[in-house]
Structure 1
C-alpha cells in the first residue's frame, strides 16, 4: 500500500522512489539551496545611525540574527566601532573640535570621541547617540543574543590591532567555544590581517572582503573560510568557484555579499547561491528571499 502511494506521488513530483521513501531527482536537488543568512550592515543602518548601539537594537527589533560592524583604534589605544577612518561624516566633530582637521579617528582619544554626537546626522530623534567602544558593542550584541560579523577596518593604520581585538574578545567572553563556533566571524579587506587572525586563533572563522581572481582562490582558502565580495562583482559561476574549495576548517568556502538593499538585487544574489547577504535593510532582504 505504501509503495503504491509513493509510486503515485513520484508520478506527480518526478521524484525517485526507494522503498517507501520519496527522494528528489538530481535536477531537483541541484536547484535547491538554503536561504542565505541575512546580516544587518553596521546594524540596521537604513533605520538608525550606523555602528551605534541603537542600530544594533533596531536590527534586533527586525529579527536580524547577525550584525556587522567596523573596529578601529583611538589615539590612546581604545577600540571603537566606526566605519570611516575620519569622524566628520557621522559625528559633529567639526563643531566640537574645529581646529583638528582632517579629524582622523586615530588622532583623537577615547574621551574626546565619547563627547561626539554620532546620531543627529541620521535624524533629530537620534541626537546624543555615541560611538560605542568595542566592549560596549560586544555587550549589547550579547545581551540581544545576536551574532557578530566583525570587520577590522584599515588594519594597516593600527599595527597590532588584531592581537588587541582578540584580547578584547577574550575579556568579553567572545572566545568561548559557543561564541567562536556559532556567533563570531572576523573579516577584513586586508589578507595579511586575516592571515594574522587565523595564525593567532585558527578556530575563529574568517572572511576576506573582496573578489579575488578565481585562480587565486586556493591561496585564500588556506586562511579564510569566506570570500565576501561586492554584489556588483559576482556571478553564479564565481560563487560556484568559491564553493568548490574548502577552507582551513575543511568546510566549503562561503560567500557573504554586500551591500544589498533592494528586493531585486537580493533575489539575484540569492539565485547565485550566496550563503549570506549583508544589508542596511534586513527586513527588505528577508521579505525578498522568502518570496
Structure 2
C-alpha cells in the first residue's frame, strides 16, 4: 500500500502518472495500470458514491454505466469515476443485492426489509421511479470496466449482528456467511477491490475468508477506535467521514479526538478516502489536507480546482 498521490483505495490499485514508491505496487505494475487507464491528474481519486448518488439513481446499473463515462482529469468536460462505491445486502434466499438501506420502502416501489425479502421481489423493485431496478452484485460488476476499482460497502444481513465493534466477532460468523458469496462474485472480475464496512463482524469475516483481501473499517464515532481496528486487522485503507479530517474547516472538535488522521494513516502507508463530499470547497480543502480519495455524489465538483491547477 502506498499513500498520498498514489490515489489508491485498495491493495494494488493505482492510477497512471502516479509516482512509484519503495513499497506496495512496483514500477512495472504501476506502468501497466497507466497504459490501461490513460493519463490521470495527481489530485485525488474520484470515487462515485453509489454511482454518483445525487446525479443518477443510486446503486443502479444505469448509474454505474454513466458514472464511469468521461475523462480522467478533473478539468475534463465530464469527469469519470476512478472507483465505484456500491452497497451490498443478501436477500432472504441468498442472492446479493446492490442497495443501501435495509428497508426497501424509502427508495423503491416495494415494501419490506431487504434481507427478509426473496430475490425475485428485490430485483423487480424500481428505484426512485427511475425505470431502474435493484441490481444483483453480478449485474453491477458486469457494467463496471475492469480498470475502474470497486469499493464494496458491506451492510448488515441480519438483525442479530452488532454495529461497530463487537466483543467476539467469531460469534457472529454464521450471520455473515453470505459474504462468501459476495467474495466469490466480486473476485471473479478483474477490478481492483476494497471491502469496507462499519461492522467489525463483517470485516473479520471477509479476512477470515481470505486474509489477503483488501479491506477497510469505516470510521464513525472515534478516530482512535478506527485506528485501533485498522491496526488490529491490518487493513488496506482508512475511510473516515469529512468531519474527522483535522486541520480543515470541517473538523468536529466537539465530537472527535484531536488526532491528525491523515498523518496517522500515511505513517502506516495507507490511503485516506473521505466520505461524503458535496461541494467544490470541500474538495479543495481536503486535497490541501492530503487526503487520497473522495467519495462524491457529483463528479462535477472537482472541476473548479482542476481548472486552476
| TM bracket (short chain) | 0.7 to 0.9
Residues 267 and 289 in structure 1, CA contact (< 8 A), matched pair in contact too = no
Residues 69 and 81 in structure 1, CA contact (< 8 A), matched pair in contact too = yes
Aligned counterpart for 1:253 among listed residues 270, 276, 286: 270
Residues 92 and 167 of structure 1, relative CA distance in 2, 3 Å threshold: same
Greater RCO structure (CA 8 Å; 6+ sep): 2
In the alignment, which residue of structure 2 is the partner of 1:136? Answer: 139
In the alignment, which residue of structure 1 is the partner of 2:151? Answer: 149
- Aligned-pair CA distance for 1:196: 2.3
Number of corresponding residues: 230
Shifted more, 186-195 versus 103-112: the winner is 186-195
- Aligned-pair CA distance for 1:216: 6.1
Q: Deviations over 1:140-199 (max 9, x none)?
A: 1137x42201111125545312222112224xx23xxx64xxx21110011232232223
Residues 115 and 157 in structure 2, CA contact (< 8 A), matched pair in contact too = no
In the alignment, which residue of structure 2 is the partner of 1:160? Answer: 177
Q: 2: CA distance between counterparts of 1:263 and 1:232? A: 16
Residues 150 and 215 of structure 1, relative CA distance in 2, 3 Å threshold: closer
Aligned counterpart for 2:186 among listed residues 160, 169, 194: 169
Q: 1: CA distance between counterparts of 2:142 and 2:226? A: 37
Residues 274 and 291 in structure 2, CA contact (< 8 A), matched pair in contact too = yes
- Larger Rg over CA atoms: 1
Q: 2: CA distance between counterparts of 1:83 and 1:288? A: 30
In the alignment, which residue of structure 2 is the partner of 1:69? Answer: 86
- Aligned-pair CA distance for 1:112: 1.1
Residues 199 and 118 of structure 1, relative CA distance in 2, 3 Å threshold: same
Residues 47 and 294 in structure 2, CA contact (< 8 A), matched pair in contact too = yes
1:104 aligns with 2:107: no
- Aligned-pair CA distance for 1:119: 3.8
RMSD value over aligned CA atoms? 2.2
Q: Where does structure 1 lack aligned partners over 5 or more consecutive residues?
A: 1-32, 95-102, 121-125, 246-251
Give TM-score, length-normalised by structure 2. Answer: 0.68
Give TM-score, length-normalised by structure 1. Answer: 0.72
Aligned counterpart for 1:240 among listed residues 239, 263, 272: 263
In the alignment, which residue of structure 1 is the partner of 2:250? Answer: none
Task: Name the structure with the higher helix share.
Answer: 1
